[in-house]
A = this chain, B = another copy of it.
Amino acid sequence: MQNNTAISQLIEAGKWVSQKGWVPATGGNFSARTSTGFVVTASGHDKGSLTQAHFLQLDHQGERLAGAVKPSAETQLHLSLYQLIPDAQCVLHTHSVAATVLSQITQEHQLDLTGYEMQKALSGFTSHLETLSIPIFDNDQDIDRLSLLVSDHHLHTPIEHGVLIRGHGLYAVGRNIDEVRRHLEALEFLFSCELERLKIIGIQAGVTK
């Protein structure tokens, strides 16, 4: 994909994600793979009012090709996801209340979801009886170290739809902008359902199911 097309799609996605309330306080970052590497949002800036000037163009190794703005530290994690997952064309990283709280109260290193029809909105799922397992990584300000953990995990358990960073948020992955938006929306819906469910059945019952 051309850089300009990719950036246009991410600007549009940013308005939608911001309106959902999933990128408060200039949080989050978005990227898309392109023919020359990938484009990614710069550090800071409200993600609901992005322009071409808020993007960096990086090559396949993450070196800057264009864009005068400051890169986000989390650019490294976007790069890793593109290197690990050949099919990944877009990554939307968001900070929702549900993703933040659910990843923080879950002691395990993954969030297992089952019994929801909405799982079928995630590519590859055909039944609510399957288990959707989203890995949860402990947050780390050392993004290189965090990226290594994600890479190591991917070797034995391939990442398909996204990962949660504890107390931080979601990285949703897709093979095109429509798929990543659908994955993001479906995962956020499932996180909201789980959070509501735990409020009623309690966290002990929730963990053991």
Number of interface residues of A (CB under 8 A): 44
Chain A residues touching B, majority SS: helix
Mark the stretch among A54-62, A82-90, A198-206 that contacts chain B: A198-206
Q: How far is the CA of A24 from the CA of B187 in the complex (A)?
A: 10
Q: By the criterion CB–CB under 8 Å, are B128 and A100 in contact?
A: no
- Kindly provide the distance from the CB of A179 to the nearest chain B CB, expressed in whole angstroms: 10
| CB <8 Å contact, B167 and A115 | yes
> For the complex, what is the distance from the CA of A101 to the CA of B200, rounded to whole Å?
10
Contact between chains at B201 and A105 (CB < 8 Å): yes
Chain A 96-129 near chain B by CB (<8 Å), digits 1 or 0: 0110110011000000000111100100001111
Known: A25-B189, A200-B203. A169 touches B117 (CB 8 A): yes
B199 touches A199 (CB 8 A): yes
Contact A115 B121 (CB under 8 A): no
State whether the Cβ of A197 lies closer than 8 Å to any Cβ in chain B: yes
Q: Chain B residues near A183: list those with CB within 8 A.
A: 25
In the docked arrangement, what's the CA distance between A121 and B25, Å? 7
Nearest B residue to A187 via CB reads: B25
Q: Which A residues are closer than 8 A to B by beta carbons?
A: 24-27, 95, 97-98, 100-101, 104-105, 115-118, 121, 126-129, 139, 141, 165-169, 182-183, 185-186, 188-189, 192-193, 195-203
Could you write out 9 A-B pairs with CB less than 8 Å apart?
A25-B189, A27-B121, A95-B118, A97-B189, A117-B165, A117-B168, A126-B141, A127-B141, A195-B196
Q: A25-B118, A26-B121, A200-B202 are in contact. List 16 more A-B contacts (CB 8 A).
A: A24-B185, A25-B121, A25-B182, A27-B121, A100-B118, A101-B193, A104-B193, A104-B197, A105-B197, A105-B201, A117-B165, A117-B167, A126-B141, A129-B141, A195-B196, A199-B199
